[in-house]
A and B are shown apart, each in its own frame.
Chain A
Amino acid sequence: MIRRRLSPPTTLRPADAISEAVTAIVARPARAVVTCIGTVLGVAWFVTALGLASTASGQVAAAFTKQLSTHVLISPKGTGPAPAASPYPIDVERRLDALRGVVAAGVFWPLRLSHPVVVSAMPEPAASGAGVTTSQVPVLAATPGFLAAAGVQVSQGRTFDAWDQAHRAQVCVVGAAAATAMGVSDLRRLPTIYIDDVPCAVIGIVGRASERQSVLRSVMLPAATAAALWGPPDARAGAVPMVMIRTRPGAATVVARQAPFAISATRPQHFAVAVAPGPVRLRDQVMNTLTSMFFALGWVSLAIGTLSIASITWLSVRERTAEFGLRRAVGARRRHIVAHVVSESAILGVAGGLAGASLGVAVVILLAWARGWVPVLAPLTVLPAPLAGAAAGVLAGLVPGLIAARIQPAAALATSIAG
């Protein structure tokens, strides 16, 4: 057919490009492994880093609690031996203070009276015309040790002390929020509140507390005063007396172990001990820094993996100049050469991603096992790993592929196919 001047363009089916790539890879397994190894390590590191980050967060949180908690809370298990008796010895605070690491300790319980606790403030605030202000404010019976353990700081006046406790003084301190609710604002007016019709002089307003922020919404009066007026705490009525201990940083776990024995050497098992979580914000900050650092390292290693595929693919392209020249001579277009190179590097990338993800999972599990941690791996970090490998492979193959596409078909004559 002489009149037909032009032949239709040559083609390359995608499936054929892939099978050619697989054939080329299988033909040079050693080179394939070397090409992959960067991606394997990159993806493995990525998965390991994310896996360790998620595994470690639980461990770090626990470690932080151990290191930075400064508060221990003790409560009796079940109801006490006798309804009217306190579960704690009378000198519980002295016993706990004797423990190394304890800064302050004190007993407290919520007042549960037969009828709702009514707190009235006197003199009534100028704005109120009713003469008496009543409000539902929690009332705590507390020892001075509790105020110290909770880190209470007054904005006005003073806290009650051992003297008030010893003399069963009818005094109280009021949390700032409770004071606002009741209209108590100025101690110079000598305000008095009535708890269940018993007058108590307000001697301090609590502005801040380092622990147990609920004290800011409460009224607190000496435990001895409360016991004298309303009897000892009745656990069956829900007024469970508890002990709050403030420790030096890092001592909370040790104190928590020793405290039940200090309270009662004969029946320490009767007390439940809880270590309050440490400063949450600091812990979260550290965790975020840790996670983002792991992430950054993961990306860096993936980039290094990409570069390693790219450089070895480039070397391999140079080595195969004659082959690509030959392919060009027998009908391959430039884009077919790009397709050959990119599909090879993409397949190596996927293989590297799969191998790397498996390696990463294995490392996370082994490390967690060795340290006695619970391995935590989000599927979202593991499953996209082969995709990340494929993306790295395609990216890595592009530049060498474009270089290979510039090989002239005459290279088939000029150079010899290595082998």
Chain B
Amino acid sequence: MATESLTQPVRRPSAQPLIDLRLAGVTYPRHQTPALRPIDLAVRHGELVTLTGPAGSGKSTLLSVVGLLLRPTTGSYLLNGADTARLADRERTALRGRLIGFVFQRPQLLPARSALDNVMIPALYAGLTRQQRVTAATGALERVGLGPRLHAAVAELPASERQRVAIARAIVTDPSLLLCDDPTASLDQAAAAQIIGLLVSLHKDGRTVVVTTRDQLAAAHSSRHLGVAAGNPAGALDAGA
């Protein structure tokens, strides 16, 4: 890949987990019931972990906490060894920007812009010059198989290619952790299989990947498969209390 490394990629298996989450619960502001019941989650470097569960079980909330999009109400969360509870917004933003790449359920692309422009957005905040951004985004788009569609308006791309653009955007700053929130939800079976294949190959490049999905195929590829049932994870996700 032509992208430049921003933080040293953390790809060697190590005793210390990349994600060490001991969650006592998440409650959204202005909501009474918790969105997530107590959960412990540990993910080591280089793992591909899939989280499955019915709608409303809290998969997305869990992923948001892992990705520093939400602060857990209680409990502790060590990301790459840093205690995220003590971090100011500036530092959480830096970790999000440099360590984590997101793929959302919806591609969340700026419709009026080209694929290249969309992929360049995270690089904007990474301190790269415009030329470096173009190089990194081109590399990321080539990596997801969209080399020929660099300048296509994203509104004109088919759904599967839009999701590929979103994946390219997630890897443009070469983060070591890729978080994907049900990336195949709006795709047909063939397109979903392609996307899963792409995520698996990105994992094989050395990235740690956490995917929430309803797709059995994804679960089959994972090194670990965890079920989340109505806020209560089973398997290695042990109930906290």
Point out the residues of chain A lying under 8 angstroms from B87, CB to CB. Answer: 6
- What are 21 residue pairs bridging A and B, where the CB atoms are less than 8 Å apart in the complex? A5-B80, A5-B82, A7-B7, A7-B98, A7-B99, A9-B90, A9-B94, A10-B93, A10-B94, A19-B130, A20-B124, A27-B110, A323-B110, A331-B173, A333-B90, A336-B125, A408-B70, A409-B68, A412-B102, A416-B106, A417-B111
Q: Which of B8-16, B139-147, B215-223, B227-235 contacts A (4 or more CB under 8 A)?
A: B8-16
Point out the residues of chain B lying under 8 angstroms from A140, CB to CB. Answer: none
Tell me the bound Cα distance from A90 to B166 in angstroms.
104
Tell me the bound Cα distance from A410 to B35 in angstroms.
14
Query: Which 6 residue pairs of A and B lie closest in terms of their CB atoms, listed nearest first?
Result: A331-B97, A419-B111, A27-B112, A331-B125, A330-B122, A1-B8
User: Is A328 located at the chain interface by the 8 A CB criterion?
Assistant: yes
User: Is B1 located at the chain interface by the 8 A CB criterion?
Assistant: no
Tier of interface size on chain B? 35 or more
Q: Is the CB of A322 within 8 A of B124?
A: no
Tell me the bound Cα distance from A12 to B97 in angstroms.
12
Q: Is the CB of A331 within 8 A of B96?
A: yes
Point out the residues of chain B lying under 8 angstroms from A4, CB to CB. Answer: 7-8
- In the complex, per-residue mask of A394-419: 1 if CB is within 8 Å of any chain B CB, else 0: 00000000000000111011001111
Point out the residues of chain B lying under 8 angstroms from A1, CB to CB. Answer: 7-8, 10
Point out the residues of chain B lying under 8 angstroms from A16, CB to CB. Answer: 124, 130
Further contacts, 16 of them, CB under 8 A, given A326-B121, A410-B70: A2-B10, A5-B81, A7-B7, A7-B95, A7-B97, A329-B102, A330-B121, A330-B125, A331-B126, A332-B124, A333-B125, A409-B68, A412-B108, A413-B60, A417-B109, A419-B111
Q: Which listed residue (A28, A322, A332) contacts B93, Cβ 8 A?
A: A332
Tell me the bound Cα distance from A23 to B124 in angstroms.
13
Tell me the bound Cα distance from A3 to B181 in angstroms.
28
Point out the residues of chain A lying under 8 angstroms from B104, CB to CB. Answer: 412-413
A contact residues vs B (CB 8 Å cutoff): 1-13, 16, 19-20, 23, 27-28, 322-323, 326-334, 336, 408-410, 412-413, 416-419
Point out the residues of chain B lying under 8 angstroms from A412, CB to CB. Answer: 69, 102, 104, 108
Q: Is the CB of B108 within 8 A of A10?
A: no
Q: Is the CB of B96 within 8 A of A329?
A: yes
Point out the residues of chain A lying under 8 angstroms from B8, CB to CB. Answer: 1, 4
Point out the residues of chain A lying under 8 angstroms from B91, CB to CB. Answer: 6-7, 9
Tell me the bound Cα distance from A306 to B84 in angstroms.
41
User: Is B76 located at the chain interface by the 8 A CB criterion?
Assistant: no
Point out the residues of chain B lying under 8 angstroms from A332, CB to CB. Answer: 93, 97, 124-125
Residue of B nearest to A8 (CB): B94
Assuming A7-B95, A16-B124, is B110 touching A330 (CB within 8 A)?
A: no
Q: Is the CB of A408 within 8 A of B108?
A: no
B contact residues vs A (CB 8 Å cutoff): 6-8, 10, 14, 16, 60, 64, 67-70, 80-82, 87, 89-91, 93-99, 102, 104-106, 108-113, 117, 121-122, 124-127, 130, 155, 169, 173, 181
Residue of B nearest to A418 (CB): B111
Residue of B nearest to A416 (CB): B106
Q: Which listed residue (B69, B80, B82, B98) contacts A331, Cβ 8 A?
A: B98
Tell me the bound Cα distance from A37 to B112 in angstroms.
22
Residue of A nearest to B82 (CB): A5
What is the distance, in angstroms, from A204's C-beta to the closest C-beta of chain B?
A: 89
Point out the residues of chain B lying under 8 angstroms from A322, CB to CB. Answer: 108
Residue of A nearest to B7 (CB): A7
Residue of A nearest to B155 (CB): A419
A11, A12, A329, A409 — most chain B CB neighbours (10 Å): A329
Q: Is the CB of B69 within 8 A of A413?
A: yes
Q: Is the CB of B10 within 8 A of A12?
A: no
Tell me the bound Cα distance from A10 to B97 in angstroms.
7
Q: Is the CB of B97 within 8 A of A330?
A: yes
Assuming A332-B93, A419-B155, is B125 touching A11 (CB within 8 A)?
A: yes
Q: Is the CB of A334 within 8 A of B10?
A: no
What is the distance, in angstroms, from B158's C-beta to the closest C-beta of chain A?
A: 16
Tell me the bound Cα distance from A418 to B110 in angstroms.
8
Q: Is the CB of A23 within 8 A of B117?
A: yes
Tell me the bound Cα distance from A322 to B166 in angstroms.
14
Tell me the bound Cα distance from A383 to B7 in angstroms.
48
Residue of A nearest to B63 (CB): A413
Residue of A nearest to B129 (CB): A13
Point out the residues of chain A lying under 8 angstroms from B10, CB to CB. Answer: 1-2
What is the distance, in angstroms, from A392's C-beta to the closest C-beta of chain B?
A: 26
Tell me the bound Cα distance from A263 to B106 in angstroms.
96
What is the distance, in angstroms, from A63's C-beta to the closest C-beta of chain B?
A: 55
Residue of A nearest to B97 (CB): A331
Q: Is the CB of B82 within 8 A of A417?
A: no
Tell me the bound Cα distance from A28 to B169 in angstroms.
22
Tell me the bound Cα distance from A19 to B113 in angstroms.
13
Point out the residues of chain A lying under 8 angstroms from B68, CB to CB. Answer: 409
Residue of A nearest to B60 (CB): A413
Point out the residues of chain B lying under 8 angstroms from A10, CB to CB. Answer: 93-94, 97-98, 125-127
Point out the residues of chain A lying under 8 angstroms from B113, CB to CB. Answer: 23, 27
What is the distance, in angstroms, from B152's C-beta to the closest C-beta of chain A?
A: 15
Point out the residues of chain B lying under 8 angstroms from A333, CB to CB. Answer: 89-90, 93, 125
What is the distance, in angstroms, from B59's C-beta to the closest C-beta of chain A?
A: 11
Point out the residues of chain B lying under 8 angstroms from A419, CB to CB. Answer: 110-112, 155
Assuming A330-B122, A410-B64, is B94 touching A7 (CB within 8 A)?
A: yes
Point out the residues of chain B lying under 8 angstroms from A334, CB to CB. Answer: 89
Q: Which listed residue (B69, B82, B95, B108) contacts A416, Cβ 8 A?
A: B108
B69, B99, B124, B130 — most chain A CB neighbours (10 Å): B124
